[in-house]
Amino acid sequence: MLASLFPRGGTEFFNYFERHAAKTLEAARLLRDMLSDPKEAEKDAERIKSIEHEGDQITHRAIEMLHKTFLTPIDRGDIHELISRLDDILDLIDSTAERVWLYQLREPDPDVLNLVSVLINAVTEVHKAMTQLRNLKDREGMIRTCMEINRYENEGDQLIRKAVARLFNEEHDAIHVMKWKEIFDYLEDAVDRCEDVANVLEGVALEYA
């Protein structure tokens, strides 16, 4: 619907959104594998770092095109916000992986695995929403996807509260607590950025449908 109204250069933004979301989902799944079996943490972190660099390139190209494109398929501010928040999610996944390696966290943590599963679910919905953005005729479908993302964010909040409580109540090594608390924080922030994407998309759906 929207794509038919704009020249190819303008609709290229949709390609950037979809490609970035796909890279983010790939990195989230690799992070889950890494946290499930951290024995090859350094190699896994390097793989995720490589994906993060690819995401940066997509972001830079999208922003460069934004500066050169006069007629954009959606609001210029929404384009910048969407690609920036997508990049934030991928950056936070990369930061999580890097710290798992640097902190030598070699034992899987069930709470972290639960939280990263929520992140994967949220990013999966983000990727779905990016494909829906190309054609906003189904406004209700887009809003349902955004609601799913919000639901996963709420689920993540509940998990993080329980995980942090367990960490402080059951662990007696202060350094160990600090390391895992930082991992929890990065994962929580990544899920929060998914909700930021959903909030922008809801506005776009209401404005253009």
Q: Model pTM greater than 0.85?
A: yes
Average confidence score pLDDT of the chain: 91
| Residue 137, pLDDT score | 75
| Residue 10, pLDDT score | 62
Closest-CA residue to 30 (of 123, 149, 102) = 123
Which three-class secondary structure state does DSSP give residue 21? helix
Q: What's the CA gap between 28 and 51, in Å, rounded? A: 10
Q: How many folded domains does the chain comprise?
A: 1
* Torsion angle (degrees, nearest 10) of CA 135, 141, 147, 153: -60
User: Is the pLDDT reported for residue 122 higher than 80?
Assistant: yes
Residue 36 belongs to domain spanning: 3-208
Q: What's the CA gap between 148 and 34, in Å, rounded? A: 26
Which three-class secondary structure state does DSSP give residue 71? coil
Q: Which residues contact 176 (CB under 8 A, 6 or more apart)?
A: none
User: Is the pLDDT reported for residue 208 higher than 80?
Assistant: no
Largest CA-CA distance found in the chain, in angstroms, rounded: 61
Q: Work out the number of other CB atoms within 10 angstroms of the CB of residue 21.
A: 27
